[in-house]
Amino acid sequence: MRRIVIAFGALLALASPVAAAPVLLISIDGLRPSDVIDAPQRGLQVPHLRRFLSDGSYATSVRGVLPTVTYPSHTTLITGASPARHGVFSNTTFDPMQVNFGGWYWFASDIRVPTLWQAAAVGGLSVGNVHWPVSVGAKGITWNLPQIWRSGHADDAKLLSALATPGLIPELEAVTGETYAQGIDETIEGDENRGRFAVALIARHKPRFATVYLTGLDHQQHADGPGTPAAHAVLERIDAIVGALIVAERKAFPGAVIVVVSDHGFAPIAHETNLFRAFIDAGLITLDPAGKVKAWEAMPWPSGGSAAVVLARPDDAALLIRVSSVLGQLKAEPANGIAGIAGKSEITQMRGNSAASLFVDFQPGYSAGGFADADGGLDAPSHNKGTHGYFPASDAMQSTFMMIGPKIPRGHSLGPIDMRSIAPTLAAIMHVRLSGAELPALIY
C-alpha cells in the first residue's frame, strides 16, 4: 500500500497534460542502480548512463518480482503485471520429466495480459523490438527481432529468421554489413552487434515505441561476479551502446522519451544446494536405470537464488506435509544455505508462481543446483560467481529505472519504486491504454 501511495504522489506532483511522445525502452540485464548512481566512487566511466541522473528522473531502487530473474521481470516491465497474473513464472518452463532440452519462456503466447507492444499498436503507433525476452510471435510488434535459441548450431539462425518479421534480418544485415548475432550469444560482442542493428532499425523504420535488450552485463556478472573489473569493463562498453541508441532515437524523434531499465540486481555466490538430490533421496522423484525421471510427486523449479516447488497433487495435504518436512530438515542444517521457505499464502502475497506450493529462498552466497548436477550431491561449489533470483525484498536484487526527455523533470529522484509501475508510466507517456497493469503511472 505504501508503494501505491508513493506512485500516486509522484503522479500528482509531476504529471502534466503534454502531447504523446515516442518511447525507446532499453533494458540492461543485471544493472544495479548503484553502478550508475555511485559510478564515480566505483571508478566506472559511464557518461551516457550518468546523463539520466542529471538530465532526467530516476529511481534509487526498483523492487522486482518473484523470482528476480530475467523472463518474469521483463514480462512485468512490458505489462505492469506480476508473474501470478502475467503467467511467465521463471526463465525456463516447468519441465518435470526433463524432456524440453532446457527450453525457456520464449513465446509471447504465454503472456496472459496485454503488453505495451499491443497497447501501442492499438493506439496507432508503430513498434520495433530487438531481442526482448518473451517476444516470439508477440502481437503488436511491427518490426520484430525476437529472442530465441536452441543449441547454438547454425540452424538457430534459420529459426530466428523464420520467427522474425519477414525480410527484416536480411534488410538490416545489408545496412550494417554484419551477420545478426545468434540468440544464444550473451557476450558484450553480441550486445554490440544487436545495438548496431537496433540503431539501423530506428534509423530506417522510426518505430514510435521500441524495445532493446542487452544481456552482456548479466553474462559477465554470472561468470565473474558483480562489481568485478571484468563486469565494469562490460558495463562501460554497454554505456557506449546506450549512447549510440540515444543519438539514433534523438535523430528520429527529437522529442522522444528514452528509458533505461534493468530486471534485477546481482549477488556473489560460492555454493549450490541441489534440491533435486534431496527429493530423489526422499523418494519424491523416481529415476529409471538411465538416470531419467520416471515419476515424481514434488519437483523443484530452480531460479538461481530461489526455487519454486511444484506438487504433482497440489491438494494432497499429506504430500505437502511430507515435502515441507524434507525442506525443513534441509533448512535446519546451516551448510545448506536455506534462508526461508514460503508457503502458498506467502507466494500469493508476493504475487509469484501460482503453480508453486512452496518457494525456497537461499541465503546470500548460495543458489539452487540443477537436475543435471544431482549426481554431484546435495552441496557443491557453484558453477558461477554471481547470480540473482532471490526473493524481491533483498536489497541486492533491486533493479534500475531512469528516463530522459523534454518533459521529464531533470535531476529528479523518484526514490524507491515498484517494477509494476514502469509499464503504465510508459503507456501514459505514449497516451495509450494498458489494461492489466497492477499499479498506476509514476510520471508522464
**41-57 tens-digit pLDDT:** 999 999 999 999 999 99
Which residues, other chains included, contact 112 with Cβ-Cβ below 8 Å and sequence gap of 6+? Answer: 85, 86, 87
C-alpha cell at 414: 523518484
C-alpha cell at 118: 499491443
Q: Among residues 268, 294, 261, 262, which one has the least CA distance to residue 280?
A: 294
Mean predicted confidence (pLDDT) in 79-84: 98
Backbone phi, psi, residue 433, to 5°: -100, 120
Question: 43-47 — which CB contacts under 8 Å span 24+ positions?
Answer: 43/232, 44/232, 44/235, 44/236, 45/236, 45/239, 46/235, 46/236, 46/239, 47/239, 47/243
Calculate the CA dihedral of residues 319, 320, 324, 326 and round it to 10 degrees. Answer: 20
Mean predicted confidence (pLDDT) in 255-260: 98
**What pLDDT score was predicted for residue 234?**
98
pLDDT category of residue 13 using cuts at 50, 70 and 90: very low
Which residues, other chains included, contact 153 with Cβ-Cβ below 8 Å and sequence gap of 6+? Answer: none
Backbone phi, psi, residue 182, to 5°: -60, 145
Which residues, other chains included, contact 366 with Cβ-Cβ below 8 Å and sequence gap of 6+? Answer: 269, 270, 271, 272, 273, 305, 336, 337, 338
Measured distance CA(111)–CA(89) in Å, rounded: 10
The pLDDT tens digits for 165-208 are: 999 999 999 999 999 999 999 999 999 999 999 999 999 999 99
Bridge partners for 210 per DSSP: 24, 128
Longest dimension (CA), the chain: 67
**What pLDDT score was predicted for residue 16?**
42
Please name each of the domains of the chain with its CATH number: 2-266+395-430 (3.40.720.10), 268-387 (3.30.1360)
305: pLDDT strictly greater than 80: yes
pLDDT category of residue 19 using cuts at 50, 70 and 90: confident
Measured distance CA(190)–CA(179) in Å, rounded: 11
**What pLDDT score was predicted for residue 8?**
37
Measured distance CA(22)–CA(39) in Å, rounded: 29
- The SS3 call for residue 287 is strand
**In 282-358, which residue ranges form alpha helices assigned H by DSSP?**
317-332, 344-349
Q: Supply the DSSP string of 44-95, one letter for each residue.
A: ---HHHHHHHHHSEEEEEEE--SS-SHHHHHHHHHHS--HHHH---SSBPP-
265: pLDDT strictly greater than 90: yes
Measured distance CA(244)–CA(259) in Å, rounded: 14
* Mean of pLDDT over the chain: 95
C-alpha cell at 101: 532440452
How many helical (H) and strand (E) elements, i.e. helices and strands, does the chain have?
15, 18
pTM over 0.75: yes
C-alpha distances (whole Å) from 318 to each of 39, 52, 65, 153, 324 are 52, 54, 30, 46, 10
C-alpha cell at 135: 517476444
C-alpha distances (whole Å) from 441 to each of 27, 294, 327 are 19, 48, 40
Measured distance CA(288)–CA(184) in Å, rounded: 31
Provide, rounded to the nearest whole percent, the portion of the chain with pLDDT above 90.
Answer: 95
**What pLDDT score was predicted for residue 11?**
41
279: pLDDT strictly greater than 70: yes
C-alpha cell at 316: 494432497
Tell me if 368 sits within 8 A of 304, measured CB to CB: yes
pLDDT category of residue 9 using cuts at 50, 70 and 90: very low
- The SS3 call for residue 106 is coil
Tell me if 300 sits within 8 A of 368, measured CB to CB: yes
Mean predicted confidence (pLDDT) in 104-120: 98
4: pLDDT strictly greater than 50: no
Burial class, 143, CB count within 10 angstroms (exposed 0-12 / middle 13-18 / buried 19+): buried
Q: Among residues 203, 238, 265, 234, which one has the least CA distance to residue 24?
A: 203
The pLDDT tens digits for 314-372 are: 999 999 999 999 999 999 999 999 999 999 999 999 999 999 999 999 999 999 999 99
Measured distance CA(233)–CA(394) in Å, rounded: 26
437: pLDDT strictly greater than 90: yes
